[in-house]
């Protein structure tokens, strides 16, 4: 199955991030699939946990770089471009539409509370991973991906102005490859930027379309 079979809607942001100079901006020219592969003798859950922690940290770092532009006025919804927006699911399971900065703040706070709970996200030796650990990881990964898609869709000009495209593209490609390798990736969260993702796939050989 081709993971990115549908065509991406055209918008102003896409015209920027689909430019060759933007797409090809990178800090790494290697094989991300080798970087993502589970090391020999390492427990799968430990490998997933270590990487999700890193992805969360760097996502927070990059978002802070554009946070001054991501305001309630500029981003009244968690836009993913092309008339697509993400909703937050509250503690009662209700879907709620939020301004982008509030959505990201909810996500960061929620994730940090999970990371601080050893019964949910163990980081100390001797504590077993809970049976639903993969479900928790997928939820965190989904929101990390949404923050990236929002940054590319709504703040690509600021990313370019701050000269962050090489760093952001490299981390995003790593994130995509890791999600593909361990079945964390959800197509529906990438619809608005799938042309860009396909370009990264071709550049890095991420094997996303298989």
For the chain, the domains span: 12-204
pLDDT, tens digit, 9 for 90 and up, residues 135-169: 999 999 999 999 999 999 899 899 999 999 999 98
Give the pLDDT score at 23.
74
DSSP string, 136-149: HHHHHHHHHHHHHH
What are the binding residues for Zn(2+)?
70, 75, 150, 155
HSE of 145 in the Cβ direction (CA atoms, 13 Å)? 27
Distance (Å, whole) CA 176 – CA 23: 15
32 vs 64, higher pLDDT: 64
> Could you tell me the end-to-end alpha-carbon distance of the chain, in angstroms, rounded to an integer?
6
Separation of CA 195 from chain center: 16
Give the pLDDT score at 92.
84
Average pLDDT value over all residues in the chain: 85
Give the pLDDT score at 182.
93
CATH of 12-204, one of 1.20.272.10, 1.10.3720.10, 1.10.150.20, 1.20.140.30: 1.20.140.30
Under the banding of pLDDT at 50, 70 and 90, the label for residue 5 is very low
pTM, to two decimals: 0.86
What are the binding residues?
70, 75, 150, 155
């Amino acid at each position: 199955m081709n993971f990115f079979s549908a065509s991406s809607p055209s918008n102003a942001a896409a015209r920027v991030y689909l430019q060759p100079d933007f797409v090809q901006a990178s800090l790494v020219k290697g094989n991300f699939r080798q970087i993502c592969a589970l090391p020999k003798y390492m427990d799968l859950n430990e490998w997933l946990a270590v990487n999700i922690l890193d992805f969360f940290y760097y996502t927070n770092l990059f978002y802070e770089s554009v946070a001054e532009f991501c305001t309630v006025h500029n981003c009244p919804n968690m836009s993913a471009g092309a008339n697509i927006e993400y909703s937050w699911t509250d503690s009662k399971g209700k879907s709620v539409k939020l301004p982008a900065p509030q959505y990201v703040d909810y996500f960061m706070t929620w994730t940090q509370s999970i990371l601080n709970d050893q019964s949910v996200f163990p980081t100390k030796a001797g504590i077993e991973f809970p049976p639903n650990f993969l479900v928790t990881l997928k939820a965190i990964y989904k929101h990390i991906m949404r923050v990236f898609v929002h940054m590319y869709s709504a703040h690509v000009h600021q990313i370019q102005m701050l000269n962050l495209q090489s760093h952001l593209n490299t981390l995003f490609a790593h994130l995509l490859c890791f999600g593909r390798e361990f079945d964390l990736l959800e197509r529906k969260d990438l619809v608005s930027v799938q042309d860009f993702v396909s370009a990264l796939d071709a550049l890095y050989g991420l094997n996303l379309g298989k």
